Chain A
């Protein structure tokens, strides 16, 4: 199943609050994205 397409237009934020587009995360190399249940 394709999960890149629905994620690509979305933004997340880095620890400074700067928006980061999902598509940029895998633009140059494969990326492992681990989604946390919670911090801590």
Chain B
């Protein structure tokens, strides 16, 4: 989301990262990443449940997870020590001031990240033509 953040701001919107570790873990992550947007945390994971995000062994042990791990490794990413609930998956929401949900993405497995072009499109950005 870091790369898309200038476009998000240009579209008159904001961005927030939400994790489910401790406050200390959130602070360490925010400091290490020097992110330009807020990092919040929900150790209870009630918001993950309310947003319909997945949790369970099947979301971690899958061929898709293995493929994502290999792809991330090839791109130079290295998994650090797991913080928070291992079986919890993430996702994304875009919500308007009216309360309307403009976008909802549910990660199906580890490494299944919300496509930022879809997030931007939900905020009104023109979609890029397919190459």
Contacts and interface: CB of A to CB of B under 8 A. Distances in A.
Interface string A17-38: 1001010011111111111111
Contact of B93 (A8, A15, A33): A33
Interface residues of B, number: 61
Given A4-B99, A30-B102, A36 B94 contact: no
Interface residues of A, number: 33
Given A3-B51, A10-B50, A13-B40, A32 B92 contact: yes
Contact of A10 (B21, B42, B82, B99): B42
Please provide the 5 A-B residue pairs with the shortest distance between their CB atoms, ordered closest to farther.
A40-B80, A6-B50, A39-B29, A15-B27, A4-B99
Interface of A: 1-8, 10, 12-17, 20, 22, 25-40
